[in-house]
Chain A
Amino acid sequence: MNLRNTYNSGNSMPSDQLEAAIQPAAASEALGGAPVKIAARDVNVFYGEKQALFDVALDVGAQAVTALIGPSGCGKSTFLRCINRMNDTIPGCRVLGRIEIDGADVNDRGLDPVLLRARVGMVFQKPNPFPKSIFENVAYGLRIHGLANKSEVGDIVEASLKRAGLWAEVSDRLHASGSSLSGGQQQRLVIARAIAVNPEVILMDEPCSALDPIATARIEELIDELRTQYCIVIVTHSMAQAARVSQRTAFFHMGKLVEAGRTDEMFTNPRDSRTQDYITGRFG
């Protein structure tokens, strides 16, 4: 995987540009008055001739976990990738409509996608540690963004690993290779790497699908802790996981957002029969 896809190149982050982008979150009616972090309106995405998303409108709450669910090919991952402009890297992909983070359009021509991806971290299905040491994996983002001086790097790496719940397991071998860790540990390492640069949003694309139940539980516990500080959007094929970790759930089907609402309501009393059929296992 191209590192540019997942992370940033060598630009340092001009703090004034970052400050300008951060505005107080507006309250959303759809979120029951909770502050909205990401607002998507009329989002249409095409891969060449094929339309992958149709008129998607969704508010994503700040300091909350939003789960995107739906059958394969429904557009949930496409939507997730719109949020940090990962689709820019796919040839022939066109994204129309507005996606705002704190009121600022992520597709604004003046906005550097690399800068955007520092604010919007991403965790993938398969853990993708860099072929570097555990320490360097976490320190990497700090260095390329020039976010910390040499003395601070060590502290931030430690704090990030602690927040990711990995510190106790790796503190005595920080200079071992990141790929020497187990799958679950690697996934937490990747999360530590994402939170080291202090993002506002964390996108997760099936972060537990390659993990065993114990490692999955650790990640879910971590997600629950992180949500007090970050806006988290998670794509998952596990309905049970969506139910466990998220406060809001959005159901996609055939490129359309069918229904979004409070997770407990979505799983006990969905409004749309398509949602009902999908979450109860009736989809053909």
Chain B
Amino acid sequence: MSEHIVKSYEDELNTLMAECARMGGLAEAQVADALEAVVKRDATLAETVIGRDGRLDALEAEIERKAIKLIALRQPMANDLRRTVGAMKIAGNLERIGDLAKNIAKRTVVIIEAEPMTPLTRAIERLGRLVLTRLKDVLDSYTANEVERAVSVWSRDHEVDEHYNSLFRELLTYMMGDPRTITACAHLLFVAKNFERIGDHATNIAEIVHYEITGEEMIAERPKTDAFAASE
């Protein structure tokens, strides 16, 4: 793509997208650290994750401010408009991902107080790794401007649902077997749900990247696995 005639406009757009990519990196690190904290029962790391969340909030506000200013002062059109709005929407999704990672970290602090439940922790780790890979892939698709990669993340959304549903059943079994595990299991259930929702945000970002690059919305129905059906 050729550059804008007005160089400062080009710079502003590039800065906006670079900041969004940087925010993506930070969100990814938050999710990775939250996962590590819950798997390794690391309270210090959990506290670090909780403390770092404010940076994501600040970055989102900054990206939103820059995007609004760009719309007001430059009136971006066509792909520039899609990039500007895309950056704003992606920042919103990343901010939510940060909140979910922070929530996982907060629950980790409580979960650590109970006895370890190794098989469950392994399942959480598998779910977390899968979600993390999806998040990394979709953020790479954003920075590399690769629509195929975004589509591939989008079309594999059901994998996370399947992991989550099996974890859900496993947790129920535990809780029914030993009521003393209920507190920890309930928190783990929320942790699992939070990872599943981070996966949903990755899917949202894939849709945004697709629109940004092609100008078309993804209209096909994604393969869905129903969590409620699985729980029966």
B219 is an interface residue with CB less than 8 A from chain A:
no
Question: Are B216 and A280 in contact, CB atoms less than 8 angstroms apart?
Answer: no
Question: Are A280 and B79 in contact, CB atoms less than 8 angstroms apart?
Answer: yes
Residues of B within 8 A of A276 (CB): 78-79
Interface residue tally on B, bucketed by range: 10 to 19
Question: Are A267 and B2 in contact, CB atoms less than 8 angstroms apart?
Answer: no
Complex Cα distance, B79 from A145, in Å, reads 50
Question: Are A281 and B215 in contact, CB atoms less than 8 angstroms apart?
Answer: no
> With contacts A240-B75, A267-B77 known, is A281 near B4, CB below 8 A?
yes
B73 is an interface residue with CB less than 8 A from chain A:
no
B16 to chain A, nearest CB (A): 15
A282 is an interface residue with CB less than 8 A from chain B:
yes
A25 is an interface residue with CB less than 8 A from chain B:
no
Complex Cα distance, B5 from A284, in Å, reads 7
The B-contacting residues of A in range 72-104, CB under 8 angstroms, are none
Residues of A within 8 A of B4 (CB): 280-282
B113 is an interface residue with CB less than 8 A from chain A:
no
Complex Cα distance, B75 from A280, in Å, reads 9
Residues of A within 8 A of B76 (CB): 280
A279 is an interface residue with CB less than 8 A from chain B:
yes
A205 to chain B, nearest CB (A): 23
Question: Are A280 and B215 in contact, CB atoms less than 8 angstroms apart?
Answer: no
Residues of B within 8 A of A277 (CB): 2
Considering the complex, give the chain B residue whose CB is closest to the CB of A282: B2
The A-contacting residues of B in range 66-118, CB under 8 angstroms, are 75-82
A127 is an interface residue with CB less than 8 A from chain B:
no
Complex Cα distance, B83 from A269, in Å, reads 12
Complex Cα distance, B158 from A158, in Å, reads 68
B89 to chain A, nearest CB (A): 14
Question: Are A267 and B5 in contact, CB atoms less than 8 angstroms apart?
Answer: no
Contact with A along B152-166 (1 / 0, CB 8 A): 000000000000000
B9 is an interface residue with CB less than 8 A from chain A:
yes
Question: Are B78 and A283 in contact, CB atoms less than 8 angstroms apart?
Answer: no
A270 is an interface residue with CB less than 8 A from chain B:
yes
The A-contacting residues of B in range 115-142, CB under 8 angstroms, are none
Residues of B within 8 A of A267 (CB): 77-78, 81
A149 is an interface residue with CB less than 8 A from chain B:
no
Question: Are B1 and A282 in contact, CB atoms less than 8 angstroms apart?
Answer: yes
Complex Cα distance, B2 from A203, in Å, reads 34
Question: Are B3 and A280 in contact, CB atoms less than 8 angstroms apart?
Answer: no
A107 to chain B, nearest CB (A): 35
Complex Cα distance, B63 from A113, in Å, reads 57
Q: Identify which of A279, A283, A284 contacts B77 (C-beta below 8 A).
A: A279
Contact with B along A246-284 (1 / 0, CB 8 A): 000000000000000000000111100001110111111
Residues of A within 8 A of B80 (CB): 280
B220 is an interface residue with CB less than 8 A from chain A:
no
B176 is an interface residue with CB less than 8 A from chain A:
no
B144 is an interface residue with CB less than 8 A from chain A:
no
Complex Cα distance, B5 from A136, in Å, reads 47
Complex Cα distance, B215 from A236, in Å, reads 25
Residues of B within 8 A of A282 (CB): 1-5
Question: Are B78 and A268 in contact, CB atoms less than 8 angstroms apart?
Answer: yes
Residues of B within 8 A of A280 (CB): 4, 76-80
A239 is an interface residue with CB less than 8 A from chain B:
yes
Question: Are B81 and A281 in contact, CB atoms less than 8 angstroms apart?
Answer: no
Residues of A within 8 A of B79 (CB): 276, 280
Complex Cα distance, B22 from A177, in Å, reads 64
B229 is an interface residue with CB less than 8 A from chain A:
no
Residues of B within 8 A of A239 (CB): 75, 77
Question: Are B216 and A269 in contact, CB atoms less than 8 angstroms apart?
Answer: yes
Question: Are A270 and B78 in contact, CB atoms less than 8 angstroms apart?
Answer: yes
Residues of B within 8 A of A243 (CB): 77
Residues of B within 8 A of A279 (CB): 77-78
> With contacts A280-B76, A280-B77 known, is A268 near B215, CB below 8 A?
yes
Residues of A within 8 A of B6 (CB): 281
Which B positions have Cβ atoms within 8 angstroms of A? 1-6, 9, 75-82, 215-216
Extra pairs beyond A239-B77, A277-B2 (9, CB < 8 Å): A243-B77, A267-B78, A276-B79, A279-B78, A280-B79, A281-B9, A283-B5, A284-B2, A284-B5
Selected A-B contacts with CB under 8 Å, 24 pairs: A240-B75, A243-B77, A267-B77, A267-B78, A267-B81, A268-B77, A268-B78, A268-B81, A268-B82, A269-B78, A269-B215, A269-B216, A275-B78, A276-B79, A277-B2, A279-B77, A280-B76, A280-B77, A280-B78, A281-B4, A281-B9, A281-B77, A284-B2, A284-B5
